Every structure is written in structure tokens, then in C-alpha cells.
Chain A
């Protein structure tokens, strides 16, 4: 969102001394597209004296869905919370290593986690709509970040966000109803709409379907499939079938280590590591 604003303003567009805007070469544009969104080098997370993640090196693609799988307690959720610095809110948690987002270290002192979280949205395991109306839930982010100055702009943001989350048709006549009056699946899509409303670049999802029934899950997966066109999505899931359905890249975590990271197809059809094979065939985990 911020990056877009800067580009639009033209302030940071490369210009020749003559004032002519340099056109990005196609090669350069392509390089940007394949440049990873996140580069992680030797990421370690400590809870007190316990090391929960033992030096993760991993690049997250700019496009598509990256799934993090692994047995309970393997560190996949901890790793996910590294990307929007949610671990900062846990007392005693400490993160070391480099996490570069578009080449910028998000753990740098200059970075304000509050602003970072506007760029990296998150959806949690349990749907957590605020005790407010559906409208106010979606408008919450735009309001605190001052994204809309006029009532109409805010209405539009709310409507498009709900549309993108595939919830608009179900709730358009009851925007004043409390968010908690929706069903579990609707609540989870409301929460996604809430995250989309601040136009993040990345959406992190922490087992978003674990509290949903199969039909709501199917709808959610459909939604993820649509969202990946516009957002970089990282999803933690304990359902291997879900990882196989929605993701293009899959990372397998085990006991705080990144065991294997490859195209989803490779991970599920042709895993290189024995531990990965054991997990996806159901022998462990």
C-alpha cells in the first residue's frame, strides 16, 4: 500500500538528469517479479532460553501460495509470526537472523512493527471478529491507518474488501449486524476482508480452516485461490491435502528445522528427505 503510494507520487521514480523517466527494462521487471518477497537467513526464535527455530534459511516467492506444513510443535506457526513481527507481542520471545522483505530487514531498528503489520496482514486459527458490526470490523484497519477521509471512500473500501473475500452477497443487507452473528466460515472470511481492507502486500494465514466444517473450508480454499493473484500468501496448515490443493510451494518443518522446501508437487510426489516422506505418507506426525 505504502509502496504503491510512493510509486504513484512519482517521487522515487528513476529519472535522468534531463528529467526523462527511465523506463524499466523488461529484464529488470522480470527480475523484480521473480525476486523473492522475503529472504530469511539463519532465523532463530527463542522463547526464554528455549530455541524454537534453529536457523531457518528460506525465500518466500513474491507470488502464489506458500504452505508451511509439519507436525504440531514443529515451529511452523512461530515461523509465520516472524513475518509480521507478531512474536514481538509475546513476552520473552526473541528473534535473531535476517528477514528481508523486498530487500529491507524488517527487524531493523528503523522499522516500526505497527507499520509493518499494515503491509503484512494475518488471519488466525480461530475466527476473531471484533465485537463490532460487520461494517466496523472491515472499516477498523482503514480507520486506524487513515486510509479514507470521506464516508463514501470508506464505504467503497468496505464493499470491495467484502467482495474480494466473497462475503459481500451474504452480508450486504446486514452490515450493521454484529460480526459475531455470522457463521464460523463467514467469520473467517470477514476476518480476511478485514485484513484485505488495509491493502496489505502479504497475507499470513495460521491454520485458517482448522475451526471450519468441510463446506466452509472448501469456500475458504476457493477464496485463497483467487486472492493469490493479488497477494503473496503464506499459509500454515496441518492438513496435507489442503497444502496440496492450495499451494504452489511447500515447506516441511520438523522439530524447529526446515527439512525440505520445494514446489508443492515435488514435495508430495517426490520428497527427497525420509522425514518428509514419513510425514506425508502418514507414518509420523
Chain B
């Protein structure tokens, strides 16, 4: 049924195009067969497009309105409404099309509006997500004060589901979760930033073409490994290895720890940093390299004193992208970082992150109006604000340097 309607609609639009173009040809005496005109305002094809747009939009609108009202007015009336509208479209076109009609301007306006609507979809979706986050969070903050949420040092979101359940008071202090998130991000960047940048420097300035063609794709494979694979790698290999290593020194370290999750996450984001920075360094004009070499600078002097500063805005962009990736990453931390909301500065302890908590709050049997579930929205909102702030800072830095350098 839907398929047939769509095919019918396409046929009507096609017919409108042929109808409009044919009218233009027959009415505009000055149209030549090749479409070049001496007198008419628009080429015949534009009249065709105009007719197609006008009939198409009118028909779709009529069908949509009819579909909404189908229960009150009945299906037959809807069909008649659509057919009449399409016919009216043809009649209007028949009246409008003549050599003086500015069909091209109408078509251009139509297209502009269509483009605007497409970008509007993306913007509206973003607004929708933000608004839903905000409203659900507001409901959460009715139950838990904002200040308690942002400054509380204890996180134990288990609330009593039944009156007779005891012992689960529910504490929603988000500080331990955010320190956990940032600690893991810090460990990840500590691993990924130097390695990624040095890889980029090597690939862009030192590696032969042959090496580069081989090494770059291999590193980019790292980005294609599913995060769940990284996750069990962190849990089953890296975590125990770190624990064993620490035990040989007489320390006791849990298998799930910030350092295990963070270092594996660091490996995961290496290709982001190396690949983006490599592109940025390559984009630095060759003339700057030549200028530096011609002054008797060595490769390393040229790299550190000319190319790196010139590429810095892009490199900062790459780093911030990697950071937001690290903050939003879920699977590795769910598996390897633990779930206990410890407030600690020690990366060898188990910590938890915002994403892990959202996962555990929303999986399993939930009531959708309990503070426990709504807390997920509040966490999401704060996470969103943080990544937004990061992006804004990145933009500001990039803009500042761009003004200085170009």
C-alpha cells in the first residue's frame, strides 16, 4: 500500500515535470529546442521543476492532512482530496507558465528552503535532546537538591523500591563519579597524547613514503577494533598484568582499576590523535619547511620551532576530540574500571565513570519516576555541559591561534 502510494506520487511529480516543461516549450515562442532562449525568463526545464515542486509539495501536504483526518472523514474522501489537490496543482501551473514567468527564481527559492529544512532537522534534534535532558534533570533536582548533586561526596543510588525495604537511603553526590571519569581520561591522555603525537611527527616528517603507506593504515586499524574487544582485553589481560606486577612489589591492586581501563582507552584513542595530527602537520605549507631548512635549521629544529607551532591549533583540536571521545567511552570502563564509586586520587584503585553509572542506572527493572532513574538524565546533562565547554574552549583556542598565524 505504502509502496503503491509512493510510486503514484513519484509518477504524479514526474508527470508534472514533463507537463511544465512541455507547456514552456509550446508557449514560449522564443524557446529554442536546445533550451536556449532569447526572450523567455527561464529555461523550459525550470518550468518543469517548478511544476514538479508545486504539484509534489501540494500533493504531499494534502495526503498528510488527509491521513491525519482519515478517521473522521473516511478514506474515500482522503483519496478524493489528494487527487483534487494534485489536479489543482496542474491547473495552477497551466495558468502560470508563460515566457515571463520567473520559474527559475521560484525553483531556487524552493531548493534553498529544502536545504534550510535539512539543516533544521539536525539543529532541532540537538535542541530536542538538550530539552529532554533538561526537563528530566529538573524532575530529578526536585527530589535531590542541585548543590547536593554537584558537591556530594557519596554516590549510592540504590533507593528503596518498597516501603519495607531498609538500609537503602540513596545518596546522589556526583563528585566521585566525575573524578573517576577525569582520572581515567587523564590516564588515557597520558598514554595517548605523547605516543600519538610522536607517531604523527614520525609519519609526516621522517618516515619514507613506503613506510608511511604501510604504517598509517595499520595504526588506523586500532580505531576500528570494537570497544568491547578493548574492554575484555583490559579486563582479562591488562588488569591482571598490572595486578601481578604490583604484587611482585608487595602492593595489592584490584584487577579493575582506573589505570587498566585508562591505559587501554589510551591505546584506543592513539589513532585519533596520530592520524588527525599527521594530517594537520602535512597541511603545513612546504614553503615554511623550505624557509627553515634554507636558514640552516636541522629537521628537528624545523619540526619543533616552525612546523609544530604552525600546526598547533589543529593538534589541540585533535587532542580535544580525543578527550571527548575518552569521556564518552563506555564499554571499556564498564568492563575494566569497576562500579564502586570511590572518591580517590589513586589510579590503582577501582573507580567508576559517568557513562558506567548511566548504564547501571538504566539497565534492569526500573521505575521511570524514581530519583535513581532520573539521576541518569542529570549525569547525562552534566556530561553534555562538560563536553560542550571543552568544544567551546577548543574553538576559542583554535580561533586565537588562527588569528595569529594567518
Could you tell me which A residues sit within 8 Å of B by CB distance? 84, 86, 89, 91, 114-118, 121-122, 124, 126, 128-132, 140-141, 144-145, 178, 180, 191, 194-195, 198
Q: Do the beta carbons of A84 and B298 come within 8 Å of each other? A: no
Q: Do the beta carbons of A89 and B405 come within 8 Å of each other? A: no
Q: Do the beta carbons of B404 and A131 come within 8 Å of each other? A: yes
Q: A91, A118, A131: which contacts B295 (Cβ < 8 A)? A: A118
Q: Do the beta carbons of A144 and B296 come within 8 Å of each other? A: yes
Interface residues on B, range: 20 to 34
Q: Does B309 contact A (CB under 8 A)?
A: yes
Name the B residues within 8 Å of A129 (CB-CB).
Answer: 291
If A91-B209, A131-B404 touch, does A145 touch B305 (CB 8 Å cutoff)?
Answer: no
Q: B285, B295, B309, B310: which contacts A141 (Cβ < 8 A)? A: B295
Q: Do the beta carbons of B297 and A124 come within 8 Å of each other? A: no
Q: Do the beta carbons of A89 and B290 come within 8 Å of each other? A: yes
Q: Does B367 contact A (CB under 8 A)?
A: no
Q: Do the beta carbons of B209 and A178 come within 8 Å of each other? A: no
A130 to B404, CA, bound (A): 11
The chain B residue with its CB closest to the CB of A88 is B293
Q: Does B40 contact A (CB under 8 A)?
A: no
Q: State the Cβ distance, B35 to closest chain A Cβ, in Å.
A: 42
Q: B289, B294, B295, B310: which contacts A144 (Cβ < 8 A)? A: B295
Name the A residues within 8 Å of B309 (CB-CB).
Answer: 130-132
The chain B residue with its CB closest to the CB of A116 is B296
A131 to B192, CA, bound (A): 27
Q: Do the beta carbons of A144 and B305 come within 8 Å of each other? A: yes
A115 to B290, CA, bound (A): 15
Can you offer 28 A-B residue contacts whose CB atoms are under 8 A? Answer: A84-B294, A86-B290, A86-B293, A86-B294, A89-B289, A114-B296, A114-B298, A116-B296, A117-B294, A117-B296, A121-B294, A126-B287, A128-B287, A128-B288, A128-B290, A130-B310, A131-B288, A131-B310, A131-B404, A132-B309, A140-B292, A140-B305, A140-B306, A144-B305, A145-B296, A180-B405, A194-B295, A198-B295
Name the B residues within 8 Å of A89 (CB-CB).
Answer: 289-290, 293
Name the A residues within 8 Å of B291 (CB-CB).
Answer: 124, 128-130, 191, 194
Q: Do the beta carbons of B301 and A144 come within 8 Å of each other? A: yes
The chain A residue with its CB closest to the CB of B309 is A131
Q: Does B406 contact A (CB under 8 A)?
A: yes
A141 to B80, CA, bound (A): 83
Name the B residues within 8 Å of A116 (CB-CB).
Answer: 296
Q: State the Cβ distance, A31 to closest chain B Cβ, in Å.
A: 29
A115 to B296, CA, bound (A): 6
Name the A residues within 8 Å of B295 (CB-CB).
Answer: 117-118, 121, 140-141, 144, 194-195, 198
In the complex, besides A129-B291, A191-B291, A198-B296, 10 extra interface pairs with C-beta distance below 8 angstroms are: A117-B296, A122-B290, A122-B294, A130-B291, A131-B288, A140-B292, A144-B298, A144-B305, A145-B296, A194-B295
The chain A residue with its CB closest to the CB of B285 is A128
Name the B residues within 8 Å of A131 (CB-CB).
Answer: 288, 306, 309-310, 404-405
If A140-B305, A144-B305, A180-B405 touch, does A130 touch B296 (CB 8 Å cutoff)?
Answer: no
Interface centre among B287, B291, B295, B310 (most CB of A within 10 A): B295
A80 to B292, CA, bound (A): 17
The chain B residue with its CB closest to the CB of A118 is B296
The chain B residue with its CB closest to the CB of A142 is B295
Q: State the Cβ distance, B293 to closest chain A Cβ, in Å.
A: 6
The chain B residue with its CB closest to the CB of A178 is B404
Q: Do the beta carbons of B301 and A117 come within 8 Å of each other? A: no
Q: A91, A118, A130: which contacts B292 (Cβ < 8 A)? A: A130
Q: State the Cβ distance, A193 to closest chain B Cβ, in Å.
A: 12
Q: State the Cβ distance, A190 to closest chain B Cβ, in Å.
A: 11
Chain B positions 239 through 269: 1 when the CB is less than 8 Å from some CB of chain A, otherwise 0: 0000000000000000000000000000000
Name the B residues within 8 Å of A178 (CB-CB).
Answer: 404-405
Name the B residues within 8 Å of A117 (CB-CB).
Answer: 293-296
Q: State the Cβ distance, A285 to closest chain B Cβ, in Å.
A: 25
A233 to B290, CA, bound (A): 19
What are the 5 tightest A-B residue pairs by CB atom distance, in nearest-first order? Answer: A118-B296, A122-B294, A131-B405, A128-B287, A117-B296
Name the A residues within 8 Å of B289 (CB-CB).
Answer: 89
Interface centre among B291, B296, B305 (most CB of A within 10 A): B296
Interface centre among A131, A180, A195 (most CB of B within 10 A): A131
Name the B residues within 8 Å of A121 (CB-CB).
Answer: 294-295
Q: State the Cβ distance, B208 to closest chain A Cβ, in Å.
A: 8
